[in-house]
Amino acid sequence: MFAWTVLALSTAIVLRAAQSYKPVIVVHGLFDSPGDFKLFQGFINETHPGTNVTVIDLFDHTQSLKSLWSQVDGFKAAIYPIMQNAANGVHMICYSQGGLICRGILSTMPDHNVDTLISLSSPQLGQYGDPHHHKLYLNSSNYLAFLNNERENPNATEWKKNFLRIKKLVLIGGPDDGVITPWQSSQFGFYDEHETVIDMRQQLVYIKDTFGLKSLDAQGAIHTFTVNNVHHTKWHSNRTVFDNYIVKWLT
Ligand SMILES: *[C@@H]1O[C@H](CO)[C@@H](O)[C@H](O)[C@H]1NC(C)=O
Ligand SMILES: *[C@@H]1O[C@H](CO)[C@@H](O)[C@H](O)[C@H]1NC(C)=O
Ligand SMILES: *[C@@H]1O[C@H](CO)[C@@H](O)[C@H](O)[C@H]1NC(C)=O
Ligand SMILES: *[C@@H]1O[C@H](CO)[C@@H](O)[C@H](O)[C@H]1NC(C)=O
Ligand SMILES: *[C@@H]1O[C@H](CO)[C@@H](O)[C@H](O)[C@H]1NC(C)=O
């Protein structure tokens, strides 16, 4: 009896050690820097002590205006070693513009080991500019149109395969964001030419599964949360948002 108890206890300890939390990589948004994520890091430290959280210290403040492809390259170089040290994979939390950068990273990284991608109020289908010039967008967008594989892209198949290595895609946003327009872009919705918002499942990129959204959805991998009364600048410092929509994924 005693021996069994000791065995059970030591097994529990070994299991606990083996189940340490996956490292978390945070990619900040426009004009931010790691300093803006102090509270957020504190939340994770409190609920998941010992988690290795890295807020990548690159393209801070006005540097975040640099071309998105150059930021993808820079962030990739910084996160690669973290991924290599993480045998069980990592989670990524990407805020605002960071959410688009993270898609660029994941699509162009054949060996990434991201388990869950949490997109925190990111303009995933773009930001209101001029929805009346969709053809011009398709012709001239050097970033999003490629990423969505809406523009002729020789790497489309590979990028889709790479993106589909993630296990879960968590999309968080809400109507009181005040910056992301339409706010549904945070959940892959966007305006049609009449400025009516069309949701993710009616979007051409979803229907044609151009970069993997429909495949992820078919796997039950997409988790969408609409949260009221959160302004764009508050998503990462709001404890309720963290407790209700983020913490459960950080296993
Ligand atoms: C994590 O929390 C512990 C206990 O409250 C504290 O001592 C430690 O400084 C915190 N670490 C970080 C990186 O916030
Ligand atoms: C966190 O991860 C990075 C990259 O793998 C590593 O260099 C660093 O030492 C880790 N920090 C801790 C406290 O484990
Ligand atoms: C898009 O590009 C094609 C081919 O270069 C050109 O013929 C067409 O006028 C362009 N359309 C717009 C709206 O820019
Ligand atoms: C496709 O991938 C190749 C090799 O990785 C790269 O050189 C090229 O720029 C990519 N094409 C596009 C349109 O990004
Ligand atoms: C925090 O989030 C909750 C919703 O989860 C919201 O009701 C509240 O207004 C938010 N507070 C701030 C300061 O953003």
pLDDT digit string (tens) for 32-90? Answer: 888 899 999 999 999 999 999 999 988 888 888 888 999 999 999 999 999 999 999 99
Nearest residue (by CA) to ligand 1, atom 8, is 45
Give 24's strand partners: 53, 91
Exposure of 11 by Cβ count < 10 A (0-12 exposed, 13-18 middle, 19+ buried)? exposed
Pairing of strands 222-226, 168-173: parallel
| Domains of the chain (ranges, CATH numbers) | 18-249 (3.40.50.1820)
Please compute the mean of the pLDDT values over residues 121-144 and round it to a whole number.
88
| DSSP state for residue 23 in the 8-state scheme | P
**If you count them, how many residues does the chain have?**
251
pLDDT band at 209 (very low <50, low <70, confident <90, very high): very high
Distances (CA, A) of 200 to 81, 93, 131, 189: 34, 21, 16, 5
Share of the chain above pLDDT 70, in %: 92
Asked if pLDDT for residue 15 goes beyond 70, the answer is no
Catalytic residue among 91, 112, 232, 236: 232
pLDDT band at 9 (very low <50, low <70, confident <90, very high): very low
Looking at the CA of residue 230, tell me the nearest atom of ligand 5: 14
CA 141 to chain centre: 21
Catalytic residue among 32, 36, 115, 177: 177
Distances (CA, A) of 117 to 14, 64, 105, 192: 28, 20, 11, 27
Exposure of 76 by Cβ count < 10 A (0-12 exposed, 13-18 middle, 19+ buried)? middle
Pairing of strands 168-173, 190-191: unpaired
Mutate to test the pocket of ligand 2, among 25, 26, 54, 57 (most ligand atoms within 8 A of CB): 54
**What distance in Å separates the CA atoms of residue 240 and residue 242, rounded to the nearest whole number?**
5
pLDDT value, residue 228: 98
Please compute the mean of the pLDDT values over residues 135-139 and round it to a whole number.
86
Exposure of 96 by Cβ count < 10 A (0-12 exposed, 13-18 middle, 19+ buried)? buried
Question: Is 232 among the residues known to form the active site?
Answer: yes
Q: What is the pTM of this model?
A: 0.89
Looking at the CA of residue 86, tell me the nearest atom of ligand 2: 5
pLDDT value, residue 19: 53
Comparing 2 with 173, the larger pLDDT belongs to 173
Please compute the mean of the pLDDT values over residues 101-106 and round it to a whole number.
97
What are the structure tokens assigned to 51, written together? 């988690």
**Residue 52: CB within 6 Å of ligand 1?**
no
Looking at the CA of residue 140, tell me the nearest atom of ligand 3: 14
Asked if pLDDT for residue 93 goes beyond 60, the answer is yes
Three-class secondary structure of residue 57 per DSSP:
coil
Question: Is 133 among the residues known to form the active site?
Answer: no
